[in-house]
Structure 1
Amino acid sequence: MIAARRPAYLSDLADGTERFFEARRETCPWCTSAKPFKVVLRTSDVIQHKPGRFVLESCTDCGHVFQNPRLNAEGLEFYYRDFYDGLGEQDMNSTLQFNRSGHEGRARMVLASAGTPQQWLDVGTGHGHFPQDAKTVLPETEFDGLDMTEGVLLGQQEGRIRKAYHGNFVELADEIAGQYDVISMYHYLEHTLDPGAEIAAARRALPAGGYLSIELPDPECAWNRLLGRWWTPWLQPQHLHMMPIANLRARLTDLGFTVVAEQRAEPHIATDAVNAALLLVNAATISGEDLAWRAAPPSRLRKALRKAAFLVSLPVVVSALLVDRLVAPIGRKRGMSNTYRVLARRTS
């Protein structure tokens, strides 16, 4: 399959990566401030290792972190290709299955504040693993899913969701208005071109008294300063926006929501150090990986050296895992939680 995809990738890259980006922004996409931005990160793609350089900047007025210049539609298609579907489908499917406790935690947060919902729409559901796991907490709730990728169709085929919407949430919001007690956006808004428009669409889709549940990577997490470009939640070039929790809270209030619950420590996923270690080893040995966006596969020697390097690095990876486990109990309550959740009720 890799060899079959190589010609298309090489054709896409024949003129370089410049065409994948929009013009650089001079105003903040969240608050429209025109004050000079602060560079937060300059990086390459440290996960798929597709060509390109990416910059994250923060607004000096509101603290919003955003990709600048941002990927355009062609760029998004290129960098998402074979990540969640295609070549990356099996690996992503396996990865998402390991966050069952986090998925159940999301459901319990809603249950505690909103009771048992009847109809729940999970926006950005991917392959539908969250609804599947949430059923253990909310067995009477019916879960539907929406996603831009074809993974949502797989989720329906596998029985993880009742109904699949394959498309753009902002465009579908009016069509599904009033159907759901809860709409969730878990690790979704950071991928979107306009998070504010997505939240506004959720308000249109929810009935009065309905709930919007959001989970996001926390750009104020101390791990990102310690690990730099190896902090996985940066996820460049996919993450276009990173919202401080205060910004999200204020926007929800402006749109007629009342925030009823917040979690900063509980959603923490204790994998910062171990993921950074794995990314470093992967980057150091990537010449031994067969990638469809490279002109030719690696030699047998490079493949063998890559496997050997991963074996040799196992003690480092295990040590990093222990660091995560030791730091998490205290660190997650002292600015080292990498994730936050907000639950808001539409009140106007």
Structure 2
Amino acid sequence: MTKSEMIAARRPAYMSDLAEGTDRFFESRRETCPWCASTKPFKVVLRTSDVIQHKPGKFVLESCTDCGHVFQNPRLNTEGLEFYYRDFYDGLGAEDMNSTLQFNRSGHEGRARMVLASAGTPKQWLDVGTGHGHFPHDAKRVLPDTEFDGLDMTDGVLLAQQEGRIRKSYHGNFVELAEEISGQYDVISMYHYLEHTLDPGKEIAAAHTALPEGGYLSIELPDPESAWSRLLGRWWTPWLQPQHLHMMPIANLRARLTELGFTVVAEQRAEPHIATDAVNAALLLVNAATIAGENLAWRPAPPSRFRRALRKTAFVASLPLVVAALLVDRVIAPIGRKRGMSNTYRVLARRTS
């Protein structure tokens, strides 16, 4: 089946989902911080649409004026999460997502080296939110004697096992499986996972349950304190609305880990930076300006031949802008990543109680 045929096959279901509008995809607005329970008024950080898939809907990120936690408010409900995740990592979006993740080899190996430097060579490692298993596959180059398993709620984890990127797959909810797998792993990793979850605190507590004393929890997250987030606004890719429900300042994560019985043994703020902020913003802008020419399953009909041609022409014409943005990323990264412009941070914590 061609992609156009796949889109046509999915269109009736999307039209049915959107017939009643998007308000039903959201919970009620909350008045307490989901991280520290503060009742002080929140500050609006971002108002945006879906600038990646361009599915209908408006989304708001707010920050707690007490602890700085950034969260989606109102938050998507279960039905909304299913709607906006559909065809992003799997289905129509599977090929593009795989292409993106498989080219982050240096970042994947950097995660493994961070653990190796502080914890030695683990025997058993569980990667939570592993997706299609690209991180474990690349980490094997650094840790050839470590056995990697993966957990995810999507079918990608099953494919990861079939492709040999992980030894064993868990298809389900980590919080619900934590007791079952307790004591089996030296390391549990959560790379770009917590920001997608309904309750990050419960996920960290589940990791404490699953790890033996002396075991390690490795976390990587987009950094909401990055200067790029303010410079680029809604075009900063790590905001990733509507999928990112929570964005945690590193101090908040450090404090919560300590409260739960972990000791932070290593942090990285400059090293995990992915130098693509400007170029991704440029691509998002061009895409948004020409999206009328894209065939999308959540629109009533495919675009006309003229609109498709116009979109292709606009992308060609925008190449100088994209190249310039790429150069900006490359020039700024060596200095900027150490001066508040890193877009990602990593934390490694040891369970000590």
- Name the TM-score class by shorter chain: over 0.9
Give 2:346's aligned residue.
341
Distance in 2 between residues matched to 1:219 and 1:258, nearest whole Å:
23
Give 1:238's aligned residue.
243
Distance in 2 between residues matched to 1:256 and 1:34, nearest whole Å:
27
Give 1:286's aligned residue.
291
Give 1:179's aligned residue.
184
Look up the equivalent residue of 2:24 and give its one-letter code.
Answer: R
1:284-323 alignment, distance < 5 Å: 284-323=289-328
Give 1:64's aligned residue.
69
Q: Name the SS of the counterpart of 1:262 in structure 2.
A: strand
Give 1:84's aligned residue.
89
Distance in 2 between residues matched to 1:172 and 1:264, nearest whole Å:
31
Give 1:145's aligned residue.
150
Correspondence 1:259 to 2:242: no
Distance in 1 between residues matched to 2:345 and 2:310, nearest whole Å:
39
For each residue in 1:214-258, what CA deviation from the matched residue of structure 2 results, as whole angstroms up to 9, or x when unmatched?
000000000010000000000000000000000000000000000
Deviation at 1:263, TM superposition (A): 0.1
Give 1:134's aligned residue.
139
Distance in 1 between residues matched to 2:163 and 2:110, nearest whole Å:
23
Give 1:98's aligned residue.
103
Correspondence 1:275 to 2:280: yes
Deviation at 1:33, TM superposition (A): 0.1
Give 2:329's aligned residue.
324
For each residue in 1:177-200, what CA deviation from the matched residue of structure 2 results, as whole angstroms up to 9, or x when unmatched?
000000000000000000000000
Q: Name the SS of the counterpart of 1:144 in structure 2.
A: strand
Correspondence 1:49 to 2:54: yes
Q: Name the SS of the counterpart of 1:125 in structure 2.
A: coil
Look up the equivalent residue of 1:163 and give its one-letter code.
Answer: K
For each residue in 1:293-343, what CA deviation from the matched residue of structure 2 results, as whole angstroms up to 9, or x when unmatched?
000000000000000000000010000000000000000000000000000
Instruction: State the 4+ residue runs in structure 1 displaced beyond 2 angstroms.
Output: none
For each residue in 1:261-281, what CA deviation from the matched residue of structure 2 results, as whole angstroms up to 9, or x when unmatched?
000000000000000000000
Distance in 1 between residues matched to 2:156 and 2:223, nearest whole Å:
25
Give 1:218's aligned residue.
223
Give 1:204's aligned residue.
209
1:12-23 alignment, distance < 5 Å: 12-23=17-28
Of the three residues 29, 32, 38, the one matched with 2:37 is 32
Q: Name the SS of the counterpart of 2:180 in structure 1.
A: coil
Give 2:162's aligned residue.
157
User: What TM-score does the superposition give when structure 2 sets the normalisation length?
Assistant: 0.98
User: What TM-score does the superposition give when structure 1 sets the normalisation length?
Assistant: 1.00
Residue ranges of structure 2 left out of the alignment (5+ in a row) = 1-5
Distance in 1 between residues matched to 2:163 and 2:314, nearest whole Å:
37
Deviation at 1:90, TM superposition (A): 0.5
Look up the equivalent residue of 1:140 and give its one-letter code.
Answer: D
Of the three residues 113, 138, 151, the one matched with 2:118 is 113
Distance in 2 between residues matched to 1:292 and 1:199, nearest whole Å:
36
Residue ranges of structure 1 left out of the alignment (5+ in a row) = none
Aligned CA RMSD, in angstroms, stands at: 0.3
Deviation at 1:98, TM superposition (A): 1.0
Distance in 1 between residues matched to 2:318 and 2:81, nearest whole Å:
33
State the identity as a percent.
89
> What is the aligned length?
348
For each residue in 1:13-39, what CA deviation from the matched residue of structure 2 results, as whole angstroms up to 9, or x when unmatched?
000000000000000000000000000
Look up the equivalent residue of 1:253 and give its one-letter code.
Answer: T
